[in-house]
Amino acid sequence: MAERDRFELDLAAALRAYALDAPTEVRPTELAQQFAAAYPHGRTALGPWRPVAVPRVAWLLLLLAGLLAAMVAGMLVAGSQMQRKLPAVVPPFGPAFACPPGSRPDTPGPVDQARPGVFNHLDLYTHMAFDRHAGRLLVLAPAAGTPNDVETWTFDVCTNTWAPMNPDQEPSGFAGAKLIYDVDSGVTIALEFNQLRTVA
Amino acid sequence: MGGPTVASTVALAGAGDEAAFAQLVAAYHADMARVAFVACGDRGLAEDAVQSAWLVAWRKLHSLRDPDRVRPWLLSVTANEARQLLRRRHGPVVEIDVEAPGDARGDPSTSIERVDLRRALARLSPDDRALLAMRYVVDLTSGELATAVGTSPSTARARLSRAIDRLRKELRDG
């Protein structure tokens, strides 16, 4: 502190004199006993142990660790809850198709067998459906040279062989029709605009 | 109290040792009462403020990081309690009592009249009154004063200087 001037010295003396009226009387032991009775220290019962002063950064890390633990616990709790299953939208298909015993579906079919032709862009109109009862693919393909006509073929998935399906009764006017296999009735339906026709 | 004795006493008192706490009360109660009295200007309020300060000390002494600073810490708690009591009373209660001439409590070593001092103190904030008391009544050092008011020593000096200037003006113009 800088050296005090006359006023400061006078002020100090006046303040000290003024403070003589302060209530300085006290009974220290009684006061300590009073506080100890009213507000007992929890640590006293533990003996001489005292908590170590923890730096603020340690408290921060502890808080972050607590938050992380709470998040993990929350995820575990949420993950252990029963999941509500949505009702099935698609009805069950029934038993899956299986090739008969002794068949070799992994063996390639005959190389030179007859098969649907590929007609440039017209293959865009070739459609297929799988007949689960018979284990064959049904193919509706544009007929060669006559785009409005179609050929129907089947492909046996157990022998990997192609066969004409309706060589004499092809569904004329169904070029570009979509094929749909009806699970319940076990038939394949050709759909062309407003016309429906079973093809098997 | 001095040196390692203070630290060990504070440590024991902070842990709930009644005898150690009583030692602290015996050592520092008078200083706390003087600061509270100057801050409040009322004996009853000063008693209440010091009582509250000791209660705070009983509960929080264990959190004091530097036991050697217990004196400015206690005075700081006292000043805070005094300020809060005054706030609850809706303003400073500094009664202007008219003393009889030749009052025995007057101090012949100062030219400042007691009644003038009280009147001038009443125009300061409780914090500034406590600051003056801590510096001139209980003789805190610059460092202790900074600890007590929670600022740097230079800031504490600047605050003290402003308070003195206000008092100087009040007492001269008074």
Q: How much is the average pLDDT of A152-167?
A: 87
> For A90-130, what is the HEC assignment?
CCCCCCCCCCCCCCCCCCCCCCCCCCCCCCHHHHHHCEEEE
DSSP secondary structure letters along B9-37: HHHHHHTT-HHHHHHHHHHHHHHHHHHHH
- Contact B55/A at CB under 8 A: yes
Query: What pLDDT score does A149 carry?
Result: 67
A-chain CB neighbours of B21 within 8 Å are: 28, 32, 35-36
Q: Is residue B117 part of a domain?
A: yes
pLDDT at A120 exceeding the cut of 60: no
Q: How far apart are CA A95 and CA A181, in angstroms?
A: 15
* CA-angle at A124, arms to A121 and A127, nearest 5°: 145
User: A interface mutation test: which of B81, B99, B105, B111 has the most A CBs within 10 A?
Assistant: B111
Q: Is residue B101 part of a domain?
A: no
ipTM of the complex, rounded to two decimals: 0.84
Q: How far apart are CA B32 and CA B77, in angstroms?
A: 9
Instruction: Give the minimum alpha-carbon distance from A54 to chain B in angstroms, rounded to a whole number.
Output: 10
Residue A141's Cα: distance from chain center in Å?
A: 40
Q: How far apart are CA B98 and CA B142, in angstroms?
A: 35
Query: Comparing A172 with B35, which gets the higher pLDDT?
Result: B35
CATH code of residue B84: 1.20.140
Q: Is residue B116 part of a domain?
A: yes
pLDDT at A197 exceeding the cut of 50: yes
Q: Residue B27 — pLDDT band, cuts 50, 70, 90? A: very high
Q: Is residue B99 part of a domain?
A: no
Could you give the percent of chain B with pLDDT greater than 70? 84
User: Measuring CA to CA, which residue among B118, B127, B112 is closest to residue B159?
Assistant: B127
Query: What pLDDT score does A47 carry?
Result: 45
Report CB contact under 8 Å: A21, B43.
yes
Report CB contact under 8 Å: A28, B26.
yes
**In chain A, where are the structural domains located?**
120-198
User: A interface mutation test: which of B29, B40, B124, B144 has the most A CBs within 10 A?
Assistant: B29
CB-based contact B33:A22 (threshold 8 Å): yes
Q: How many domains does chain B divide into?
A: 1
CB-based contact A160:A107 (threshold 8 Å): yes
What stretches of B102-152 show up as alpha helix (H) in DSSP?
114-122, 126-132, 142-149
User: Measuring CA to CA, which residue among B13, B154, B18 is closest to residue B73?
Assistant: B13
Q: Give chain A's mean pLDDT.
A: 78
Instruction: Give whichever of A30-34, A88-92, A142-146, A172-176 has the largest mean pLDDT.
Output: A30-34
User: What digits encode the pLDDT tens for the residues A121-152?
Assistant: 445 567 888 888 888 888 887 666 555 567 88
To the nearest 10°, the Cα dihedral for A68, A69, A75, A80?
170
Q: Give chain B's mean pLDDT.
A: 84
Query: What pLDDT score does A196 carry?
Result: 73
Q: Which two structure tokens, joined as six digits, stand for B71?
A: 């004196």
DSSP secondary structure letters along A10-72: HHHHHHHHHGGGS-----HHHHHHHHHHHS--GGGGGTT--PPPPPHHHHHHHHHHHHHHHHH
Rg of chain B on CA atoms, in Å: 17
The domain in which residue B141 lies consists of 3-93+108-173
Q: Is residue B77 part of a domain?
A: yes
Cα–Cα distances in Å, from A26 out to A115, B9, B107, B167?
115, 19, 25, 32
Tell me which DSSP letter residue B112 carries: S
Report CB contact under 8 Å: B58, A35.
yes
A182 φ/ψ angles, rounded to the nearest 5 degrees: -95, 115
Q: Residue A182 — pLDDT band, cuts 50, 70, 90? A: confident
Q: How far apart are CA A32 and CA A43, in angstroms?
A: 16
User: What digits encode the pLDDT tens for the residues A42-88?
Assistant: 544 444 455 566 778 889 999 999 999 999 998 888 777 776 777 77
